[in-house]
C-alpha cells in the first residue's frame, strides 16, 4: 500500500516499519487489536498521507554543496587555538615592555579609555597621551616583529 502511494521502495519500507512499530507499541500497552492486518493498513495509509502533507517532503533538504558555504558565527577550533596562542605570545611580549608602556597600552586597549580619560588618570595632557601611545605601540610592534608575529587576529 505504501509502495503504491509513493512508488519508492525506501519510503515504503520506512512507512511499513513505522506502522509495525506502532502496532508493537499498542500491543505492549495492552491494546486489544482484533484485526491487525486492517489496523496496519489504516496506519500505513495515514502515515503515507501524513508524509505527503509534511513540510519535509514539500521542501526537501538543502543540497550539501549549499550548506558547505554556510559559516558559523563562532571561529573554527583551529582558528580559536591560533588566536589563543597569539594572545599568549602577546601577553609575554607585553610583560617585557617597560611599566609605563604596559600601563598606557592597558588603559587604552584593555580598558578602552579614551585619551582624555587616560590623561586625567595619569595627570598629563591628552597630547602627551597620544605621543606615549604612539611610542608604546611602536616598541610593541618592534618586539612582535622580532618574535615573528605578523598580525593580531
Pick the CATH number of 97-146 from 1.10.10.10, 3.40.50.720, 2.40.40.20, 3.30.230.10: 1.10.10.10
- 124 close to 103: Cβ distance less than 8 angstroms: no
Position 3 scores a pLDDT of 79
Residues of the chain with pLDDT under 50: none
Q: Is this prediction's pTM over 0.85?
A: no
Position 58 scores a pLDDT of 67
CA 135 to mean position of chain CA atoms: 39
Position 67 scores a pLDDT of 66
Position 53 scores a pLDDT of 78
Position 117 scores a pLDDT of 94
Domain ranges for the chain: 2-64, 97-146
Phi/psi at 48 (5° precision): -65, -40
Going from the C-alpha of 7 to that of each of 1, 11, 44, 46, 89, the distances in angstroms are 10, 8, 14, 16, 63
Position 6 scores a pLDDT of 72
Amino acid at each position: 500500500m505504501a509502495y503504491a502511494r509513493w512508488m519508492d521502495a525506501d519510503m515504503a519500507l520506512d512507512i511499513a516499519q513505522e506502522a509495525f512499530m506502532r502496532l508493537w507499541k499498542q500491543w505492549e500497552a495492552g491494546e486489544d487489536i482484533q484485526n491487525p492486518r486492517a489496523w496496519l493498513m489504516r496506519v500505513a495509509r495515514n502515515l503515507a498521507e501524513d508524509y505527503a502533507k509534511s513540510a519535509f517532503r514539500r521542501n526537501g533538504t538543502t543540497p550539501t554543496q549549499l550548506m558547505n558555504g554556510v559559516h558559523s558565527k563562532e571561529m573554527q577550533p583551529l582558528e580559536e587555538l591560533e588566536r589563543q596562542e597569539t594572545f599568549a605570545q602577546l601577553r609575554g611580549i607585553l610583560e617585557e615592555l617597560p611599566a609605563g608602556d604596559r600601563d598606557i597600552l592597558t588603559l587604552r586597549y584593555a580598558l578602552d579609555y579614551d585619551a582624555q580619560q587616560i590623561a586625567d588618570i595619569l595627570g598629563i595632557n591628552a597630547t602627551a597621551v597620544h605621543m606615549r601611545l604612539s611610542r608604546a605601540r611602536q616598541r610593541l610592534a618592534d618586539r612582535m616583529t622580532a618574535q615573528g608575529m605578523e598580525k593580531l587576529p
